[in-house]
């Protein structure tokens, strides 16, 4: 059930319209999540800035999508699982890799992402050491935290808002 209605882009303030139009150009349409977030223009603006910054992070597009899937699985966000399953396919992750990412066992990054969310940041030193032993750098650890924070925002938003899913449902 939708508890926070998506903004109708044409009725939004001009600054929000501009942001939503940019999202539409990038994605091919304006997903409902952005329309819901547009109810709070400052949050939408901050989210878009974080999203743009993380594109330039130490994580590849495939790695960011895998981490997004791992975090969304732990948080139980059907909207983000659908959206990131769709996006993961677009960046070249196979269905088996998508399932592994959701389970946190695709690679050290997805394991770390799930541990960060499950422990609310209190990842045991041994787990960080295991990630480093698997080749995860300090920059990647920090960028996984950044993606986890980004996804926690959208996961909670979509769960609370009951955002209508406008991507093919995740398996």
Q: What is the model's pLDDT at position 171?
A: 79
Q: What is the model's pLDDT at position 155?
A: 98
SS3 content of the chain, % helix, strand, coil (to 5): 70, 0, 30
127 is written with which tokens?
A: 């787990």
Of the candidates 61, 9, 62, 54, the residue with the CA atom closest to the CA atom of residue 34? 9
Indicate the domain borders of the chain. 9-55, 61-161
> Domain 61-161's class?
mainly alpha
Domain 9-55 has CATH 1.20.5.810: yes
Per-residue pLDDT of the chain (171 residues; tens, 9 = 90+): 899 999 998 999 998 999 999 999 999 999 999 999 999 999 999 999 999 999 999 999 999 999 999 999 999 999 999 999 999 999 999 999 999 999 999 999 999 999 999 999 999 999 999 999 999 999 999 999 999 999 999 999 999 999 999 998 887
């Amino acid at each position: 059930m939708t508890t926070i209605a998506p903004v109708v882009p044409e009725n939004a303030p001009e600054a929000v319209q501009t942001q939503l139009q940019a999202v539409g150009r990038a994605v091919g349409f304006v997903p409902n999540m952005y329309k819901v977030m547009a109810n709070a223009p400052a949050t939408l603006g901050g989210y878009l800035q974080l999203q743009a910054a993380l594109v330039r992070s130490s994580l590849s597009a495939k790695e960011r999508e895998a981490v997004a899937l791992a975090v969304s699985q732990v948080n139980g966000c059907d909207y983000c699982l659908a959206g990131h399953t769709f996006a993961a396919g677009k960046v070249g992750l196979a269905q088996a890799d998508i399932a592994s990412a959701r389970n946190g066992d695709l690679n050290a990054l997805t394991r770390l992402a799930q541990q960060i969310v499950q422990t609310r940041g209190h990842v045991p030193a041994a787990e960080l050491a295991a990630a480093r032993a698997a080749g995860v750098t300090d920059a990647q650890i920090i960028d996984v935290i950044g993606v986890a924070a980004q996804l926690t925002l959208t996961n909670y938003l979509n769960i609370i808002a009951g955002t209508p899913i406008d991507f093919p449902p995740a398996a």
